[in-house]
Chains A and B, each alone.
Chain A
Amino acid sequence: MSILIADQLTRQFPGSTTPAVINFSLRMEEGELVALLGASGCGKTTVLRMIAGFERPNSGSLVVYGQTMIGPEKFVEPEKRKIGIVFQDHALFPHLNVHENIRFGLKGMLVHHSKRVVEKMLEITGLAGLGGRYPHQLSGGQQQRVALARALAPEPLLILFDEPFSSIDTLLRKSLRHEIAEILEQTGTTALLVSHDIDDAFALSNRVVVMNHGVIVQEGKPVEVYRNPANKYVADFFGQANYLPVSAFDERMTGLICCSRQRVMGDELVCIRPDGIRISLQKAENSLEARVLTARFMGQYTEVTCECDLGGQTQRITIHTRETGFDANTRIGYLQIDPSVCTVVE
């Protein structure tokens, strides 16, 4: 059974001319981890708040685990939804200690039972022994984990994260991401994560949904969205890209690149990731000669910018290569473009 079925959710705030979220539809299966991505102000938080019940959509419906939460004539208050949420600011209750914070949502449970649940949550989240501390006595990462433990304790059907790592520094962020991915897997929790950091999405999710100006622009596996962005917005969102006019390629390449498209107008751009082009110092079959302008060592890769003649025009291309031997003195390189990593974007 689908955990979540959102259908055509639309939300327009009073006083604004355009809706913040337009016809948002999403289906999530049990145990899935979905990341909702998009630039600032594109409506991600609004989607999350509608699902949690803090915001009423103007139209659309929402079904969670077979129960209609939002529908015609129907609106279930947030406290009745069994949907957990982890906020960016953690929203830990400062007047309660860690133990009491986690127990907060365990109403109507016998004391010794709820105590056991809390102990278990503390264990899972690696907070054992910190139950007596108050939120201000914890580090950012620990606070983050308390917020997660608190949301997980009542065993919600679904858990929502709104930019859970944005208040945490980069180093800690990385390890925390993996820990949380593990915890979610271990507890079999279905989660929807909002972020504008693509690393969060790659590290945590099986599926990403990209939004822009209140609408979903693309949805799919992280690698698909990365390799085959639907448009320039998505392509840019997921990192650096080279854009070359379709006309720069010969008949055969164009056919290979555009095989999935009905028609080609001739003024589209072909998007190629910097790591989608191979560059080497040796000439090989079908390779293109390019003048290397700069080659900069970046640690994991070397960033090479070069110019080459394509379809009668000079194009500038950026490439990330792991091959050694490129440095400031390199003058010539040979390119090989794999059509399967090229995508046509508008």
Chain B
Amino acid sequence: MRWKGIFYERRLFPNGWVAGASLAALALMVPLIVIFSGILEPTDKVWSHIVNNLLGTYTMQTLLLMLGVAVCSFVMGVNAAWVVSKYRFPGRRLLEWALIMPLAIPAYLSGYAWAGMLDYTSPLYSFLRNNFGVHTGQYLFFDLLSLPGAIVVFSLSLYPYVYLITRTFFQHHAGNMFDAGRSLGLGPWAIYRRLGIPLARPAIVAGISLILMEVLNDYGLVNYFGVETYTTGIFTAWFAFGNVGAAMKLSALLMVFVLGLLLMEKYQRRNLWYAGQPTYAATHPNRRKVRFGWVITVLTSLPFVLGFVVPIAAFIHWTVSVDAANHRDFGRLLLNSFQLAATAAVLVTVLSLFLGFTIRTFPGLLTRVSVRIATLGYAIPGAVVAIGLLVTTLWLDSKGGGTVLITGSIAALVYAYAVRFMAVGFHSIESGNERISVHLDQAARSLGSSLWRTFLRVNLPLMRGPMAVAFMLVLVDVLKELPLTLILRPFNYDTLAIRAFEYANDERIAEASPAALVIITAAIIPVILLNLIMKHNPHHKPSKK
């Protein structure tokens, strides 16, 4: 009983719930702390080799990639958001949500599909060669497997982030400002240039920051396209040089980029101009009719077609045409993937429920800070989380008598997923909690329920919906995850994403298709869900999910 006294009466923690939340936050923060401690590690030969020969390239290519993706997704996403919000043209309503769909295809899968299609040996190229005598040298149009190619593919699959957030702004948060501009004599394009873009700037920057975080997180696409970013550097350091210290240092450097983006996103989001309450007219706008509506239809549907329809069509085509013998161990893959994803999803959901109830009941500073920390992982690239955890498990194993027990275990992998995807689950639980009056809990407690009983008998039953959403979102995110899984998976333990990655790197992209299709099919569900949420609750700010 004495430790309990110290624990509570010294007011370190007001009670067990807050203490639990703080401990959870601490545990989830371990990988990040470990990474930053990497800076203190003594430099060795590998690290000086990287600094002298590779770091410049990594920095340059990472920056160019970020810049390119920012520009391209701005062009695609913001224009589309404006056109869809302000004009009337055939298929507008369909496109309004179809433009979000590319989010369902992880960038690396989109990259494999495009690479497979535009390959010198691809049926598309042979067709053009044989029937039209097209000879453009080694490449069809340009070498897709390059930095510019990666920029295009990234933008095609990630622009929906900026599209979605600016569309919401244009449709719901600009009040009467666009109408005011028109009554002052400005035509629609002048309004877009002089009001639309400047007013939406915070939304645009926030959306692009999210996109760039995804770019920094990626490994599959940059690896295949031969772009040398920090993430590729981390993999090289660990897999090629076997040097965990160098991987840690690179991770810490990568985190500097991430923190920059994070700050930018937070700052801009706070600056978002909300022009009063959305008016009836603003939410049911009278869209302007355009003369050549179908031209707009074609132009606006390009990002959707190139980012969603084409890759899916390619994967379906390959799935159908590939020899069935290659699908032999597909059942095992499915089982592995879904088991892993479901385990992680359950862990995250349970933790989220606990944190959600704690912050609801004890919304003090300590709880808020704990929740912040616990949900920080969404910003940390998967490779960084993985290296952080790898170092931790290696250390634990060395202390535990030298046998490799934790390193490369399923438990470590699931733990890493929890670190990375905690925010996704917590966010849905939190928004569920916001919709339930705290008076319910207070009524239960005044009727003599303990906190535990209130949690189990009142909160949990009401959270069934958000629980399901949290579970599903995390499930899908784990299914799609690649870099973290690559580093931490148990030896020879294959998942769908890993298999797609391996086939692609063996130049057998067609055989990667069934795995890719399963991932994409699962990922479509949350995208549709997201769209529904945004439609019905325009005040919902799109975060990572």
Contacts and interface: CB of A to CB of B under 8 A. Distances in A.
**A and B bound?**
yes
B185 A82 contact: yes
A116 interface: no
A87 interface: yes
Contact of A91 (B177, B187, B194, B284): B177
Contacts of A55: 281, 286
B461 interface: no
Contacts of B286: 49, 54-56
Contacts of B179: 52, 54, 78, 85, 87, 91
A151 B187 CA distance: 16
B195 interface: yes
B275 A94 contact: yes
Given A56-B286, A89-B276, A93-B199, A79 B177 contact: no
B184 interface: yes
B293 interface: no
Contacts of B195: 93
A154 interface: yes
Instruction: Give chain A's interface secondary structure class.
Output: loop
A78 B182 CA distance: 6
B106 interface: no
Contact of B185 (A49, A54, A88, A107): A107
A206 B357 CA distance: 60
Interface string A40-83: 00000100010011111000000000000000000001111111
Contact of B183 (A56, A83, A94): A83
A56 B185 CA distance: 18
Contacts of A89: 175-176, 275-277, 279
CB-based closest 4 A-B pairs: A105-B184, A89-B276, A91-B180, A91-B176
A84 interface: yes
A85 B180 contact: yes
A54 B281 contact: yes
A99 interface: no
Q: Which of B177, B185, B281 has the most CB of A within 10 A?
A: B185
Interface in B247-292: 273, 275-277, 279-281, 284, 286, 288
Contacts of A77: 182, 187, 288
Given A54-B281, A55-B281, A94-B275, A87 B180 contact: yes
A94 B182 contact: no
A87 B176 CA distance: 7
25 contacts: A45-B280, A49-B281, A56-B286, A77-B182, A77-B288, A78-B179, A79-B184, A79-B185, A82-B185, A83-B183, A84-B184, A85-B179, A87-B180, A89-B175, A89-B275, A89-B276, A89-B277, A91-B176, A91-B275, A94-B273, A95-B198, A104-B181, A104-B186, A150-B180, A150-B184
Contacts of B180: 85, 87, 91, 93, 150
Nearest to B279: A89
Given A49-B286, A79-B187, A107-B186, 14 more contacts: A54-B182, A55-B281, A56-B286, A80-B185, A84-B183, A89-B175, A89-B276, A89-B277, A91-B177, A93-B195, A93-B199, A95-B201, A104-B184, A105-B186
Interface residues of A, number: 30
A13 interface: yes
Nearest to A85: B183
Contacts of A85: 179-180, 183
Contacts of A49: 281, 286
B184 A94 contact: no
Contacts of B175: 87, 89, 91
Contacts of A94: 199, 273, 275
Contacts of B182: 53-54, 77-79
Given A89-B276, A93-B195, A95-B198, A52 B284 contact: no
A151 B181 contact: no
B93 to A, nearest CB: 13
A5 B183 CA distance: 19
Interface in B497-521: none
A50 B165 CA distance: 30
Interface string A92-107: 0111000000001101
A45 B281 contact: yes
A219 B176 CA distance: 29
A300 B187 CA distance: 52
A150 B176 CA distance: 14
Nearest to A52: B183
A89 B187 CA distance: 22
Contacts of B177: 91, 93
A79 B177 CA distance: 13
Contacts of B288: 77
Given A13-B284, A89-B277, A94-B275, A78 B199 contact: no
Contacts of B273: 94-95
Contacts of B276: 89
B345 to A, nearest CB: 40
Q: Which of B183, B199, B201, B279 has the most CB of A within 10 A?
A: B183
A94 B177 CA distance: 9
Contacts of A56: 286
A105 B182 CA distance: 9
Q: Which of B176, B199, B201, B273 has the most CB of A within 10 A?
A: B176
A95 B176 contact: no
